[in-house]
Amino acid sequence: MEKMSNTLWGLVLIIVGLIFGLNALDITNINVFFDGWWTLLIIVPCFIDLFRVGDKTGSIVGLIIGISLLLGCQDLLDFKLIWKLMIPFSLVAIGLSIILKDTFYSMMKKKNEKQNKKNSKEYTATFSSQNLDFSNETFEGCDLSAVFGGMNCNLKDASMQNDVVINISSIFGGITLYVPNDVNVKIASSSVFGGVSDHRKKKNKEADVTIYVNATCLFGGVEIK
């Protein structure tokens, strides 16, 4: 999925470059700056983000808003109606995402309730940065929070005997989670203008141990490497 999104970005840049080049050579006369061209700055990134791993609510909401604005610029929709419905629609979409996420992952949460209760360790980076290293330690899960800050959590050489749960909250911040190659990772996230990106090259879905990542992102992001 990550390769697909990179490929799409590459194709977008190639197409834009070809259009500008052909126009410069007077081979074509494509009007790049048509009415509402700026909405593509919303539509294209949101569309490509649909091919990334993680919660897609923000991308879907952004895509619908971008398309609505483009139709408004083309006089196919009433701009006043778009502005009136934009905030209610966004709130409803985000609310549905939270409900569906909780329903979909309810079995996962019940299965890991015991592990989650053992998460007595909480780490927070508020207007600061923090580097956590659990090398050569027995890891049983934790809570990570970054508020206007950044955090790195290294689990590469940590020992995990059972499935673990990591609850993550990223608000105007960023958290990077480094996980071992011999574990499986499952992600449940609720994101508003942010999200979880899984950058692992090798994903071991048949592993005996699973790391369950429950993430909430508000203008923040989580990277898994």
SS3 content of the chain, % helix, strand, coil (to 5): 40, 30, 30
How far CA 113 is from CA of 106, 160, 164, 169, 174, in Å, comes to 10, 17, 10, 19, 26
Q: How far apart are CA 146 and CA 20, in angstroms?
A: 42
Which residue, chain included where needed, has tokens 């207007």? 127
What tens-digit pLDDT sequence spans the chain (225 residues)? 555 666 777 888 888 899 889 988 889 888 888 888 998 888 888 887 776 655 666 777 788 888 888 888 888 888 788 888 877 877 777 676 666 555 555 555 555 555 545 555 888 888 888 999 999 888 888 889 888 889 999 999 898 888 888 888 888 889 999 999 889 998 887 776 778 888 887 777 778 889 988 888 877 889 999
Q: In the β-sheet with 195-198, what is the strand arrangement from edge to edge?
A: 129-133, 150-154, 174-178, 221-224, 195-198
Q: How far apart are CA 120 and CA 144, in angstroms?
A: 11
Tokens encoding 209? 């141990």
What is residue 84's predicted lDDT score, i.e. its pLDDT?
A: 81
Query: What pLDDT score was predicted for residue 98?
Result: 64
Residues ≥6 apart with Cβ < 8 Å to 142: 119, 121, 122, 123, 153, 166, 167
Q: At what angle do helices 40-49 and 57-73 cross, to 10 degrees?
A: 150
Q: What is the pLDDT of residue 64?
A: 85
Q: What is the pLDDT of residue 32?
A: 83
Residue type, position 148, single letter: F
**pLDDT score for 176:** 93
Which pLDDT does position 181 carry in this prediction? Answer: 86
What pLDDT, on a 0 to 100 scale, did the predictor assign at position 163? 87
Three-class secondary structure assignment of 141-154: CEEEEEECCEEEEE
Tell me how far apart the alpha carbons of residues 53 and 171 are, in angstroms, rounded to a whole number. 19
